Amino acid sequence: MPETPYKTYPYRWVVLAVFMGINLTIQILWICFAPITGPAAKFYGVSDLQIGLLAMLFMIVYVPLSMPISWMIDTIGYRKSVSLGAILMGIFGVLRGAFAGNYTLVMLSTIGIAAAQPFMLNSISTVAAKWFPIQERATAAGLALVAGFIGIAIGQVTSPLLLEQVGMSWMLLIFGSVAAFSSVLFLIFTREAPPTPPCPEGQETRALMLTGLKSMLKMRGVWFLLVIFLFGMGVFNGVTTWIEDIVRPKGFSPTQAGDFGGILLIGGIIGAIVIPALSDKFRMRKIFLLVGMAFAIPGMVGIAFVSTYPLMAASMFILGFFLMSLAPIGYQYGAEITFPAPEGTSNGLLNLAGQVSVVFIYAMEAFKNADGSFTNSLLILAGLMVINVLLILGLKESTLINLQTAPELPTEPGSVHISD
């Protein structure tokens, strides 16, 4: 029986684990001020909007840095590029804690942390492609995104508790120390690539970034996918940002609003594990994108109209489960249909569209009902989700995922450490 020229290594799970660690911690650093906006504004003597700016900086900084960082990932390699991002996160995370009493220095440190985020977000597909066979890549991408969702949940829950128990300075220093620790683990254990590729010869070969970008922008499917990410991330960012304002007119308390936010994230975490794994198992992308987007619409409609706790909780779970699970499949689908464009380029382009969706946050406020409710805005978002369903129907199924027909790839026994 001829030897297969490619194999997978158990060490891929170590690489993915330390990558998940830095994705988790940077989301904690991003969201930590959101649940304590009022107390933080009082602590620093600034407005609520200035505290909100500390979160919005991550989106603002991302836009100009996304494509240059994608170029770095594709040119000098995943390990060197993302290590730089991890170092930035660790250093500025600790500095934000060290100077926690000064709003200006906290904001400058936050800019440094925000500059690290594109390194993590834009390398999700690259890590999956370098270390995982194609039938595991959506699963790997899903786990990386799940780490980010968990980080958001941890930040939302622990920030108020730590602020109450140890104060602002120690809270930020604890978060910064966790970020530094996860960065050190990443620097120690990550590797650029396994000794042999995890896929047949040719599937790992990528074009140069500029060549790949030019070819990508000529593809109708890429433009469809960009709009799908723009609308999808707009829905997620809008609902999570205004969740308390959305449910308040229905008689729910801030504590219950926090419950709904947690239920939304729990649904997303479960969905981002289950649905990408099914996509890998059945080797199909389009149908799972279609079903996920279509099934998320009832969740959005429910959020707009229901007024009881159980139904609102169910609507949040449904929206999170189906909508948030689409991102890892979308990243992997984009990498497959744009082959041989570099994964970092397709990943970065989709994330760029997603970050631009920050405009939806402001638009939702503008389209509020006269009584202050968000019903009109939520129905507009539901309409955009219907447009996404139509766009997904216009996509073609990935052909790359079916090129690798072997159900199992051989695993190198005892491969617990891989040197450069």
Per-residue pLDDT of the chain (420 residues; tens, 9 = 90+): 344 456 788 999 999 999 999 999 999 998 888 777 778 888 999 987 788 788 888 888 988 898 889 889 888 988 999 999 999 999 999 999 999 999 999 999 999 999 999 999 888 878 888 888 877 877 888 788 889 888 988 887 788 889 889 999 999 999 999 999 999 999 999 999 888 877 665 555 444 455 556 666 777 878 898 999 999 988 988 887 777 778 888 988 766 777 888 889 899 989 988 998 898 888 888 999 999 999 999 999 999 999 999 999 999 999 999 998 888 888 888 878 777 666 666 777 787 877 777 778 778 877 878 777 889 999 999 999 999 999 999 998 877 766 544 334 344 443 333 433
- Pull the structure tokens for residue 92: 């500025």
Alpha-carbon distance of 349 to 331, in angstroms, equals 10
Q: What are φ and ψ of residue 198, in 5° steps?
A: -90, 20
In this prediction, residue 5 carries a pLDDT of 58
Are 382 and 297 spatial neighbours (Cβ–Cβ below 8 Å)?
yes
Domain edges within the chain: 8-205, 207-400
In this prediction, residue 120 carries a pLDDT of 92
Four-way CATH pick for 207-400: 1.20.1250.20, 1.10.3470.10, 1.10.579.10, 1.10.490.20 = 1.20.1250.20
How many CB atoms are located within 10 Å of the residue 359 CB? 13
CA atoms lying within 13 Å on the CB side of residue 276: 31
Are 115 and 128 spatial neighbours (Cβ–Cβ below 8 Å)?
no
Topology agreement, domain 8-205 and domain 207-400: yes
Four-way CATH pick for 8-205: 3.30.420.40, 1.20.1250.20, 1.10.760.10, 1.10.3370.10 = 1.20.1250.20
In 9-59, DSSP assigns E strands to none
